[in-house]
């Protein structure tokens, strides 16, 4: 394999503005160019230039609706790459101190519970991974798997993995959580857990970022079904 593709990919994420754009898009939504410019704190022309480079490099895809240009990560594999690199970076260097109270509150909220593309991360994501492993819903003998008994248990609470499985995406995989420094669950299972938690009202977004809030019904369900209690 040539080193050039790897060098080009590394170069795309070497710019702080491009890296910040990719991190913002880990919430799984499609953003307009102006929204991303505001989110990462650059002028529209700078954002447009960097977005064009990310699309050309294959990390982002764009969709146009009328006058608006929407950008999102190219897929789950791209999201996993960005999250894994963020986790590696957080291990190899200390994070800068929050610039203000608002940023400090946002970081705390994201550390408790947040989206990582289409699955759950933060303290909640790690706690759910631990709970599913402890109950045998997920096993790790020779790699992560969901046995038949685990699929039956999940179906009993309204999560049908077979219905959500499409393409070659793995049924379940481990994703290193950059705030907890421990793994949460991604893949089809991770996406199904997040979708179910949002559809049932267990979780709700906080503002426009990635942070999530556990609702009172959600706290009861997490405790009763998974044995998870978040403080």
Instruction: Give the model confidence (pLDDT) of 111-150 as tens digits.
Output: 888 988 888 999 999 999 999 999 999 998 888 999 999 9
At 13-69, the pLDDT tens digits run 889 999 999 988 888 888 999 999 998 889 999 999 999 999 999 999 998 888 778
CA 98 to chain centre: 21
Domains observed in the chain: 3-74 (1.10.10.10), 98-226 (no CATH)
C-alpha pair distances (Å), 166 with each of 28, 95, 159, 188, 199: 17, 37, 15, 8, 20
pLDDT tier for residue 204 given thresholds of 50, 70 and 90: very high
C-alpha pair distances (Å), 21 with each of 25, 166, 191: 6, 27, 22
pLDDT tier for residue 90 given thresholds of 50, 70 and 90: low
pLDDT at res. 91: 58
- Asked if residues 26 and 115 have their Cβ atoms less than 8 Å apart, the reply is yes
pLDDT at res. 68: 79
The torsion angles phi and psi of 54, rounded to 5 degrees, stand at -70, -35
pLDDT at res. 97: 56
Burial of 123 (C-beta count, 10 Å sphere; 0-12/13-18/19+): buried
**CA angle 228-101-99, nearest 5°?**
110
Quick one: tokens of 90? 């957080």
Q: 169: helix, coil or strand?
A: coil
């Amino acid at each position: 394999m040539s080193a050039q593709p790897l060098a080009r990919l590394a170069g795309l994420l070497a710019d702080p503005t491009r890296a910040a754009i990719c991190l913002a898009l880990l919430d799984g939504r499609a953003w307009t160019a102006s929204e991303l410019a505001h989110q990462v704190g650059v002028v529209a022309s700078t954002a447009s230039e960097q977005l064009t480079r990310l699309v050309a490099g294959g990390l982002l895809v764009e969709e146009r609706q009328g006058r608006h240009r929407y950008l999102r990560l190219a897929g789950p594999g791209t999201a996993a790459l960005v999250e894994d690199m963020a986790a590696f970076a957080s291990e190899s260097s200390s994070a800068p101190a929050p610039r203000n109270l608002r940023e400090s509150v946002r970081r705390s909220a994201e550390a408790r519970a947040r989206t990582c593309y289409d699955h759950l991360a933060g303290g909640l994501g790690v706690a759910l991974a631990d709970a599913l492993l402890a109950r045998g819903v997920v096993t790790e003998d020779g790699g992560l798997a969901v046995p038949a008994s685990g699929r039956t248990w999940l179906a009993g609470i309204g999560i049908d993995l077979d219905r959500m499985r499409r393409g070659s995406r793995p049924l379940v995989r481990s994703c290193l959580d950059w705030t907890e420094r421990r793994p949460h669950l991604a893949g089809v299972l991770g996406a199904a857990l997040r979708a179910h938690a949002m559809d049932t009202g267990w979780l709700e977004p906080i503002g426009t970022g990635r942070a999530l809030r556990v609702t009172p019904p959600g706290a009861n369900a997490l405790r009763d079904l998974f044995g998870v209690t978040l403080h």
